[in-house]
A and B are shown apart, each in its own frame.
Chain A
Amino acid sequence: MQSHIVRCPRCQRRLVSSGKVNLALSFIKAQPHRLDLLMRANGQAVSVLKHSLRQEPKAQELKKALPQQTPLAKYGRYGFSLGSLAACIALLFLMKIGVFSSMDTVQTRGQKVIRRYYVKHAGQDLADEVFPTDTGQSPSANSHGPFTT
């Protein structure tokens, strides 16, 4: 589809035009109005209703009504903070249940298995060269090994 549009001037024109329509719609949606517009509209509409309705307390409330924010718009600004907090809690939870120490154990055991494989197939010298950790360092602390970046 994309390669066709790159080659077809007619489709390009179509795409540009529909983009322009979407742009115009976005402009229309982004245009703000005065905050008291709802109040004014309600006031004007209530004024043509029956006298008994105009006297209702609800009608008086409508004349003072201001636009209400949706919950999404209201609490959206706290989204990033809430997300960060949730990530911290998740990390703490993972640490608490021992996921990270288990991962460390798995990594250590994996390296031991691979070292044994090297010893068996390539010799002790090469294995010591590739995994110099046996001299005292723990294999997981080896930052120059072939499985670390």
Chain B
Amino acid sequence: MFSKAVSYGSLWDFAVPESVAESQRWVLSAMHKHGQGLVTMLWRILGNEQDVCDAYQDTFLQLAHFDGGRKPRHVKAYVFRVANNVAISILRRRIAEKKRFSRPKTEAGAARSPVDELDSKYLQETLRIYITQLPEHLRNVLTLRDLAEMSYARIGKILGISPGTARVYRCKAVQLLAVWMNEKEQR
């Protein structure tokens, strides 16, 4: 009896990895379905192709290992939230590295002319820096709304808030960014 149980147990051990691999085809389906949207969002957050590939890889790796290889209930919500967090971590790391290696250049950047302040690259970089400093709930809404171009209803579903709340958070995020950018200009 006991030996029979052992043999069933070993059979089960062999069967589990195979069935997990079989059942994880949904990871590829998710990649096919949401890949384009994710790449667009990551590109807009990061602005660097290698970083986009790294964040994308990390996102799907986390998805494949979620809860022992099980499919999350809302794959799109999970994937976009993870990608958002991964991208912000990469961006923070990049900003910190940049600060460390080019301190004199950053200090010189404070004395920019008004013409330079309308420079596309400068504005993009400044905005990215400030986006990383936003509180998480505001940042999530801003990135999903403005960089992933989702509707407020969809954002509400992803973040578990109402569309109205998402709208308010987006407005607050823009106000906060505007204040920070204005402060920087006055400094």
Give the B-binding residues of A (Cβ under 8 A).
13-14, 16-18, 20-25, 27-29, 31, 33-34, 37-38, 40-42, 44-50, 52-53, 56, 58-59, 61-62, 65, 67-68
Chain B residues whose C-beta falls within 8 Å of the C-beta of A28 in the assembled complex: 44, 47, 124, 127-128, 147
Q: When A and B form their complex, what is the total count of cross-chain residue pairs whose Cβ atoms lie within 8 Å?
A: 124
A34 nearest in chain B by CB position: B49
Name A's interface SS. helix
- The smallest C-beta distance from A45 to any residue of chain B, in angstroms, reads 4
Contact A41 B182, CB 8 Å, known A53-B21, A56-B28, A58-B29:
no
Q: Are A65 and B179 in contact (CB under 8 A)?
A: no
Q: Which residues of A contact B61 (CB under 8 A)?
A: 45, 48-49
CA distance A47 to B64 in the complex (A): 12
Contact B24 A50 (CB under 8 A): yes
**In the bound complex, do residue A41 and residue B52 qualify as a contact, i.e. CB atoms below 8 Å apart?**
yes
Judged by a CB distance under 8 angstroms, whether B25 is at the interface is yes
Contact A58 B39 (CB under 8 A): no
Q: How far is the CA of A14 from the CA of B124 in the complex (A)?
A: 19
From A16, A25, A38, A46, contact of B127 by CB (8 A):
A25
A16 partner residues in chain B, CB cutoff 8 A: 182
- B47 adjacent to A21 (CB under 8 Å): no
